[in-house]
Amino acid sequence: MNIGQKLAWDDTVLPFQLDAADIRGRVARLDGVLEGILRQHDYPPAIEALVAEMALLTALIGQTIKLRWKLSLQVQSKGAVRMIATDYYGPQVEGEAARIRAYASFDKDLVTDVAAFDQLNEGYFAVMIDQGEGNVPYQGITPLAGGSLAKCAEAYFAQSEQLPTRFELSFGRSTEAGSKEHWRAGGVMLQHMPKASPFVAQGEGGGDVLQPEDIVQGEQAENWTRANVLLDTVEDMELIGPSVAPNDLLVRLFHEEQPRVYDAQPVKFGCTCSEERVRQSLSIYSAKDITTMTTDEGRVTADCQFCGAHYDLDASTLGFDNDKNPDV
């Protein structure tokens, strides 16, 4: 069945900078990525919206990381939604697609008809970067506040990275004529050019949560304010619709700021689970623990939360090994 017309800019992240304003940014459009993420689960609409927003933020932020690095965003909450987790895997080589995966854990009995963000309560928004073997992973957190996950991400960059950052996002179910209803998402990220590479600064935490306007001063503040005012004029259909390409959108919004674009980064849905990883994750358990997981037929089963893959393993082949315990 036709899901929707595939556009040249679907599932891409276009990096750009505004030469006249000392600001950089990204334009993201997600289509097939969201289909890959959401079709695995039967989420209520509010949960789907939160996962779509997190996936879009992950694409926009993840484009910054280097080849073979991994970016993870995570929400932990005491509300109806317990956790939302996303991963962005940088491409192995230049030109390849980055991979995104995401899932949510929630209590269906607590999900209500209130706004999506109100399904969260008393928690935090976390950003984690894995630079590969031999490097200490980086992690920063900020409280859940501001009324959206995008506002949480803005607060994170202001507080932990001292980088004024702005997100303008749109996401929802597309009802294009002749196509099956499906999720689409689009957004723009603006960020004041940093003094050093992104994610280098590691804040100590504590104190007041900073906002972007607390950081920039003087002419820089004027440039930042002007760019934000221009972004305020963007319409949902310009972010998510099929008729405005990312390049055209930048010209519409920022032509006087001299936008300069770079090569777009393709992204796709992709999971890293495998039977080998499942076996390794089970290797921390004793024979007694394995017995409690074993069916009458002598099998141990496991399902991947991200992609829904089902693994059915012979319990007699599962052993105890303290030296192996990677994440699935």
Return the domain boundaries, the chain.
12-195+208-269, 277-317
Give the pLDDT mean for 297-320.
77
Query: H-type helices in the chain, by residue range?
Result: 32-38, 45-62, 149-156, 218-231, 236-240, 246-254, 275-282, 287-293
CA distance linking residue 199 with residue 263, whole number of Å: 22
Predicted confidence (pLDDT) at residue 284 exceeds the cutoff of 80 = no
Terminal C-alpha separation, the chain: 32
* Mean confidence (pLDDT) of the chain: 84
The class level of CATH for 12-195+208-269 reads alpha beta
pLDDT band at 205 (very low <50, low <70, confident <90, very high): very low
pLDDT band at 197 (very low <50, low <70, confident <90, very high): very low
Predicted confidence (pLDDT) at residue 291 exceeds the cutoff of 90 = no
pLDDT tens digits along 251-263: 999 999 999 999 9
pLDDT tens digits along 27-43: 999 999 999 999 888 89
Which of 184-193, 237-246, 266-275 is the least confident region? 266-275
DSSP string of 128-170, one letter each residue: EEE--TTSPPEEEEEES-SSSHHHHHHHHIIIII---EEEEEE
Burial class, 98, CB count within 10 angstroms (exposed 0-12 / middle 13-18 / buried 19+): buried
pLDDT band at 206 (very low <50, low <70, confident <90, very high): very low
Give the pLDDT mean for 207-215.
48
Q: How much of the chain, in percent, has pLDDT values that exceed 90?
A: 52
What integer pLDDT is reported at residue 236 of this predicted model? 93
Q: Does an H or E element contain 85, and which?
A: strand 81-89
pTM comes to 0.81
Hey, which residues does 126 pair with through a beta bridge? 74, 141
CA distance linking residue 290 with residue 285, whole number of Å: 6
Give the pLDDT mean for 280-285.
77
pLDDT band at 218 (very low <50, low <70, confident <90, very high): low
What integer pLDDT is reported at residue 148 of this predicted model? 96
Predicted confidence (pLDDT) at residue 217 exceeds the cutoff of 60 = no
